[in-house]
Structures are given as structure tokens and as C-alpha cells.
């Protein structure tokens, strides 16, 4: 299948290129001493992670420890309640060990760290899901683990902070700026610059300098590979549409990668938060422009000085002023349509899925559910597969306090 001048039959061979570019997006914009460390990781990824020993070990871990494959569930009551005849399905990454997709790349990154002889893993976290997943991987492989987290998110995601500590990680509070995800990435990068000889930076999404966007996508592609096979065996056909929420974009890239070469409409959902005024949302692909941040070129939200703009979303995991370079590429190409849902629509979808299906979704994933419902209302027939990236246990206290029980 072709889109613009891109041939999707051979897409994964050609994107990213050897320097980490998806078209004009991606690359590596970092200090020379850190580039040495990135080259080491890129080289290790190409050799170690492509070896049959590594692949066999990761497969075993996914099956025996993570509980993969995660199932797809048909949402019968929700589909009936919409009443257009459109069938809704969810890929249950909420049932992946630790409750979200993040463990898919964390086990891969930590296994790579182990093969490279590193002693420590370092990362940022927003919602705490990546932090919990990495703390879990570090405990599993016997590595030290430092997690940087903004003080706003520490308060909002208290259960995940406790989980990281129980798992033996150090949670380092970041108080600069808005004290959310962007500042946590800044702090984790700074720490990594000092410690790169003994540590590896395990980035939490398909962002950062090459090779992270490629590496995280490849580790997350298990979602799309499983989902495509499962959906066809359940229904005998492909879904008409696939939907995922986009923060940095890892769960979405994992899901989308399975369907890029298929006649399937693909939708990435960004957080519109309180509205479309700058500072009230984090819809970077929808409202942003080209720019470099955290070592990669992508589409980002900028303030009047060209710096990353302040962003907001009810979902800590989507609260980031940019998205991975591959999303920027797919956006410009028109292969994926990026759209938005706001906080209110998200909270409504959170309760709808809980009440009609007995699944409490993460507030990030609720964005995808809200969009899937909206989309199903506009379609006359067909099917929509939503990536349910995580479960909502971490969000319950916050939602009850802010929105009450509906
Ligand atoms: C459950 C869940 N879904 C989605 C995201 C967003 O990240 P990404 O866009 O990388 O999938 C997060 C981030 O913390 C998350 O916890």
C-alpha cells in the first residue's frame, strides 16, 4: 500500500533511516559526549536485540512474566448503546502486568541494559505507569532504578509512587517549571549525562534522540502484531478503524504499526484538556509546529520565544508538548488522522466503559475510548478497535476527588 511517496510494504526497512529520521523528523540533537552513549545504545540495539538469544528471552518473559498475549474484548453493551450497528472492541493492554503497555518496552530496554553490562536504569515518568514498569523491570533483572517525576504528578498519581518505592526504585521529585512530564524528562536527561557510563536511559515513549523512537516502537509493536492476528481470528476480517491515545505516542505506535500497510483508517487521539487556548491542552500534532526538544525534531507546541509551551491535560501521561517523530511523519503524510477529545468527554468515557463493560480504563486510555465512541456514532456500520493502553486504578482517587461519583 502506498501513501504519498511512501511504500508501506517496505516501511519498516526504510523508516527510520540510519540516522534515525522519519522524513525530516527524528534524528539526534544532543551534546557530543551524550552522542557517544547514544551510538553505543544504537549499536547494541542492532546487534544484541536482533540476536536469536535476546529475542527468545524476551518472548519467554512476555509470556511467562507479563502475561502476553493480552486479549481483545468485544464491547457488546457499549456497541448496542451506540445503536449504529458499529461494533467496538478493545485491545486489553490494561491486563498486561503492571496495568499498562509501558512494560512492553521496559522489559526490552532493561534486558538490553543487562546485556550491555549496565548497573542502573534511569527514566522520567508522568502518570507513573512508565516508572512502575521500569521499576518492575529493574527488580526483575536486579538493576538499580532512578525515576524522575514532577511534584504535581507525584501528588496526582500517589498509588504509582508507592508502587515504585515498594519495587525498590528511587523516586526523585522535580519541582522546576510546571513540575510535570516535560520537566521530569529534562531532569532525567541531566542525570543521565552524568551517569551514562554505568546507566542506561530508558525513555518512556517513542520520543528522544535516535535510537529511542525506533527501539520503543519496535518493542511496542507486539501490540499491533497480536491485535491484527487476534482481530482477524475473532471476526474473519480487519477492523475498519483503529484508535489509540497519543502522549509521546508509544501505545499508539505499537498498535498502528500492525495496520499501517492495511486498508484500515487509523486515528491518534490527543488531549484537548480545557480547550484550544495555548496552555489549556497538550494537542501537539494538532496545534503545534516543527521544532527540536529533548534531542529530537518533531512537531511541538511552542511559546512566543520558541520554547516548549506550557501544556495541560487531565491525564498526566498525555501532558507533553510534543509527540514522537514517527507520529509527525505519519501526520504530514496523512496516513494517520490526529484529532482531539477534551477532559469532559474523557471523564464521560471513563464512567461509560466502567458502567457498561466492567472495565475501569486509565484516564489516558479514556481519551481513545471517548474518540472511539464519537467515531462509531458517525459510521453507519463496521468495527472500531481501540487500544486500551492501561487500567484506571491509579486515577480513581483523583477522579473521585475532582469529579465525584457519577
Ligand atoms: C495508560 C497510559 N496510556 C497512555 C500513555 C501515554 O503514553 P504513550 O503516548 O507513550 O503511549 C500513558 C503514559 O503514561 C499511560 O500511562
Which atom number of ligand 1 is nearest to the Cα of residue 363?
A: 1
Q: What is the predicted pLDDT for the residue at 1?
A: 86
Q: Is 366 a catalytic site residue?
A: no
Distance between alpha carbon 78 and the CA centroid of its chain, in Å?
A: 25
Q: What is the predicted pLDDT for the residue at 158?
A: 93
pLDDT in tens, 198-223: 999 999 999 999 999 999 999 999 99
- For residues 361 and 391, the answer to whether their CB atoms sit within 8 Å is yes
318 Cβ below 6 A of ligand 1: yes
What ranges in 120-264 are assigned the alpha helix state H?
129-141, 151-156, 158-166, 181-195, 212-220, 222-235, 250-256
Query: What count of other Cβ atoms lies within 10 Å of the Cβ of residue 278?
Result: 14
From the list 205, 348, 389, 394, the catalytic residue is: 389
Distance between alpha carbon 77 and the CA centroid of its chain, in Å?
A: 28
Which atom number of ligand 1 is nearest to the Cα of residue 365?
A: 3
Q: What is the predicted pLDDT for the residue at 228?
A: 99
Q: What is the predicted pLDDT for the residue at 375?
A: 98
Q: What is the predicted pLDDT for the residue at 223?
A: 99
**Residues near 26 by beta carbon (within 8 Å), at least 6 away in sequence:** 16, 19, 20, 210, 213, 296, 297, 298, 325, 326, 329
**Cα 247 to ligand 1 centre (Å):** 6
If you average pLDDT over every residue of the chain, what do you get?
97
How many Cα atoms occupy the beta-carbon half-sphere of 140 within 13 Å?
A: 23
313 Cβ below 6 A of ligand 1: no
pLDDT in tens, 142-187: 999 999 999 999 999 999 999 999 999 999 999 999 999 999 999 9
DSSP per-residue codes, 318-365: G--SB--HHHHHHHHHTSEEEEEEEHHHHHHHHHHHHHHHS--B-HHH
245 Cβ below 6 A of ligand 1: yes
**Cα 356 to ligand 1 centre (Å):** 23
The protein residue with its alpha carbon nearest to ligand 1, atom 5, reads 317
pLDDT in tens, 254-300: 999 999 999 999 999 999 999 999 999 999 999 999 999 999 999 99
317 Cβ below 6 A of ligand 1: yes
Which atom number of ligand 1 is nearest to the Cα of residue 362?
A: 1
Q: Is the pLDDT of residue 33 over 90?
A: no
pLDDT in tens, 358-368: 999 999 999 99
CATH (residue range 68-99+221-403): 3.40.50.1100
Annotated domain spans of the chain:
22-61+102-217, 68-99+221-403
- For residues 141 and 57, the answer to whether their CB atoms sit within 8 Å is no
Q: What is the predicted pLDDT for the residue at 4?
A: 87
Would you state the CATH architecture of domain 22-61+102-217?
3-Layer(aba) Sandwich (3.40)
pLDDT in tens, 55-114: 999 999 999 999 999 999 999 999 999 999 999 999 999 999 999 999 999 999 999 999
Q: Is 73 a catalytic site residue?
A: no
Decide if 22-61+102-217 and 68-99+221-403 have a common fold: yes
**pTM score > 0.95 for this model?**
yes
Q: Span 330-335, mean pLDDT?
A: 98
Q: Is the pLDDT of residue 34 over 90?
A: no
Q: Indicate the top mutation candidate among 389, 395, 398 to test ligand 1's pocket, ranked by most ligand atoms within 8 A of CB.
A: 389
The protein residue with its alpha carbon nearest to ligand 1, atom 16, reads 129
Distance between alpha carbon 380 and the CA centroid of its chain, in Å?
A: 30
What is the band of 121 on the pLDDT scale with cuts at 50, 70, 90? very high
**Cα 317 to ligand 1 centre (Å):** 5
pLDDT in tens, 3-15: 889 999 999 999 9
Amino acid at each position: 500500500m502506498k501513501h504519498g511517496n511512501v511504500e508501506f510494504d517496505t516501511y519498516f526497512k526504510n523508516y527510520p533511516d540510519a540516522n534515525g529520521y522519519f522524513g525530516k523528523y527524528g534524528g539526534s540533537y544532543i551534546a557530543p559526549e551524550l552522542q557517544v552513549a547514544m551510538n553505543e545504545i544504537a549499536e547494541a540495539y542492532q546487534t544484541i536485540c536482533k540476536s536469536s538469544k535476546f529475542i527468545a528471552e524476551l518472548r519467554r518473559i512476555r509470556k511467562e512474566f507479563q502475561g502476553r498475549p493480552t486479549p481483545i474484548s468485544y464491547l457488546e453493551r457499549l456497541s448496542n448503546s451506540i445503536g449504529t450497528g458499529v461494533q467496538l472492541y478493545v485491545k486489553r493492554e490494561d491486563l498486561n502486568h503492571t496495568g499498562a503497555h509501558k512494560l512492553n518496552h521496559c522489559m526490552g530496554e532493561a534486558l538490553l541494559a543487562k546485556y550491555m553490562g549496565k548497573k542502573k536504569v534511569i527514566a522520567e515518568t508522568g502518570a507513573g505507569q512508565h516508572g512502575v514498569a521500569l521499576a518492575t523491570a529493574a527488580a526483575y533483572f536486579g538493576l538499580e532504578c532512578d525515576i524522575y517525576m514532577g511534584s504535581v504528578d507525584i501528588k496526582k498519581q500517589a498509588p504509582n509512587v508507592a508502587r515504585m518505592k515498594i519495587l525498590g526504585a528511587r523516586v526523585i521529585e522535580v519541582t522546576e517549571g510546571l513540575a510535570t512530564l516535560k520537566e521530569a524528562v529534562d531532569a532525567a536527561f541531566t542525570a543521565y549525562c552524568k551517569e551514562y557510563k554505568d546507566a542506561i536511559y530508558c525513555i518512556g515513549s517513542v520520543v528522544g534522540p535516535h535510537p529511542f523512537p525506533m527501539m520503543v516502537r519496535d518493542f511496542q509493536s507486539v501490540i499491533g502484531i497480536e491485535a491484527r492476528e487476534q482481530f482477524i481470528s475473532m471476526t474473519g476480517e480487519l477492523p475498519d478503524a483503529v484508535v489509540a491515545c497519543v502522549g509521546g505516542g508509544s501505545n499508539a505506535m505499537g498498535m498502528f504499526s500492525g495496520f499501517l500497510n492495511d486498508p484500515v483508517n487509523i486515528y491518534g487521539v490527543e488531549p484537548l484538556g480545557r480547550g484550544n487556548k495555548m496552555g489549556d491542552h497538550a494537542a501537539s500534532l494538532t496545534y503545534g509546529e516543527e521544532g527540536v526538544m529533548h534531542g529530537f525534531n518533531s512537531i511541538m507546541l511552542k511559546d512566543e520565544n520558541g520554547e516548549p509551551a506550557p501544556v495541560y491535560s487531565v491525564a498526566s501521561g498525555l501532558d507533553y508538548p510534543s509527540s514522537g517523530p514517527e507520529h509527525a511523519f505519519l501526520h504530514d503524510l496523512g496516513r494517520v488522522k490526529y484529532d482531539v477529545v477534551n477532559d469532559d468527554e474523557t471523564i464521560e468515557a471513563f464512567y461509560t466503559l466502567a458502567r457498561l463493560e466492567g472495565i475501569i480504563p486509565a484516564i489516558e486510555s479514556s481519551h481513545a475510548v471517548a474518540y472511539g465512541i464519537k467515531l462509531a456514532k458517525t459510521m453507519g456500520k463496521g468495527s472500531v478497535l481501540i487500544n486500551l493502553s492501561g487500567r484506571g486504578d491509579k486515577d480513581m482517587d483523583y477522579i473521585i476527588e475532582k469529579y465525584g461519583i457519577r
